[in-house]
Amino acid sequence: MDLSKYSRCLIGNYGAPPVAFDRGEGTRIWDTEGNEYLDFSSGIAVNCLGHSHPKWVSAVQKQASKLVHCTNLFAIPEQARLAERLTAKAGTGRMLFCNSGAEANEALIKLARLYGRSKAGGQEGKVVKIVATEGDFHGRTYGAMSATSGSKVRSGFAPLAPGFAFAKFNELASFQALLDEDTAAVLIEPIQGEGGIRETKDNVLRGIGQLCHERGILLMVDEVQSGMGRTGRFFSYEKAGIKPDAISLAKGLGGGFPIGAIWVKESHADLFQPGSHGTTFGGSPLACAAAHAVLDVIEEEELIEKVALQGASFKADLETLSAKYPDLVQEIRGRGYFLAMSMKVPCGDFVTALREGGLIVVPAGGDSVRMLPPLNATKGDISEALGIIAKTLSTFPTVPKQ
């Protein structure tokens, strides 16, 4: 397609796109010129079953011909069943559905403020502080943006929502210093996605969990990118053995159909009372059918177990490969199918070179190449990707980082 049309009729907030895609199947995607690529971006962790998985397609088609949307003022059986399936994974509690990651985090932020009011004996505006983490990303809406420390996200939008403080990444003492009697909640990504696949250490997560528990502070975990099996566990926080009070989910949940959700522990599930929150589209029959298909395929194809095993060998192979290019590669991070290769050379140029070699990945954290294969990517797909990465490394110019 004529990409110049883009800048004529679309706002430039995503920058100028390099190619246009019009078809996908499994781990493959084709551009409008007919070139085939191996897609290890999954549309940023969204297409967790790859493109057009037959079971997903048939579930969505079937539901579309039955009932697409009613409203949350009526009962939606698929929504209750989806809530049951997700609470079976998260623990005793209840769900609320929405349409995106930012919206899920907005719901968590509002939950925290309601919780703060209940903690202050019903007085509003006293216990409001939400302690988030430097470098985390929670979305682009006002609350979620205010909960995000990065200047790239916040810049130009002052005044931001008040009541947020930022603890230093991976520093328990910094959380400890900020968690006071005015604090309602902590909001944290167990592994930063946009930040470049940076893991909070298990003992730091456990320490934060302990502090929250002792001080009656909500522990709210953002699993929008890291959830849905991506790290080789259903939720990434499971590795540290912590027990959150609330969780946000989105990206992979609908396998490409927009749906987000929050899970709230049973003891806090009544903070939202009738009329206190809502959304027109959230948890529609169609969105829920898409999410059911994702959960079905994850279970039937035992994808989480495969992601854990194959992700570990993918990471090991990336480490072996990158050791040959100490001038190009800084390090390999992450787990499961949630991996990053941080570069000593401009990462955007490297991402472009990989695409020209036939591999789609996305940058993260300014210096990292993020690899998010669909959860059903096979060993064969991974070795093909490794081949493209090896070839690209072997021909990439070594320019020192400024």
Ligand X SMILES: *Cc1c(COP(=O)(O)O)cnc(C)c1O
For binding to ligand X (CB under 6 A), which residues are involved?
100-102, 105, 137-139, 189, 193-194, 222, 224-225, 250-251
The least CB distance from residue 43 to ligand X, in Å, is 11
Secondary structure of residue 51 in the 3-state scheme: strand
User: Of 26 and 143, which CB lies nearer to ligand X in the complex structure?
Assistant: 143
Does residue 251 carry a catalytic annotation?
Answer: yes
User: Of 26 and 255, which CB lies nearer to ligand X in the complex structure?
Assistant: 255
The least CB distance from residue 222 to ligand X, in Å, is 5
Q: How far apart are CA 52 and CA 59, in angstroms?
A: 11
- Exactly one of 39, 136, 222, 245 is catalytic; name it: 222
376: Cβ contacts below 8 Å, ≥ 6 apart? 26, 27, 49, 50, 53, 297, 301, 303, 306
Extract long-range pairs of 341-349: CB within 8 Å, 24+ residues apart: 341/368, 341/369, 341/371, 341/389, 342/196, 342/367, 342/368, 342/369, 343/367, 343/368, 343/369, 344/400, 344/401, 345/396, 345/397, 345/398, 345/399, 345/401, 346/399, 346/401
Q: How far apart are CA 84 and CA 94, in angstroms?
A: 8
The least CB distance from residue 226 to ligand X, in Å, is 7
User: Of 338 and 396, which CB lies nearer to ligand X in the complex structure?
Assistant: 338
Does residue 137 carry a catalytic annotation?
Answer: yes
Which residue's CB atom is positioned nearest to ligand X? 101
Q: Is 159 exposed, middle or buried (0-12, 13-18, 19+ CB in 10 A)?
A: exposed
- Exactly one of 40, 97, 137, 396 is catalytic; name it: 137
User: Of 90 and 224, which CB lies nearer to ligand X in the complex structure?
Assistant: 224
- Exactly one of 166, 235, 245, 251 is catalytic; name it: 251
Does residue 344 carry a catalytic annotation?
Answer: no
The least CB distance from residue 193 to ligand X, in Å, is 4
* Residues tagged active-site: 137, 222, 251
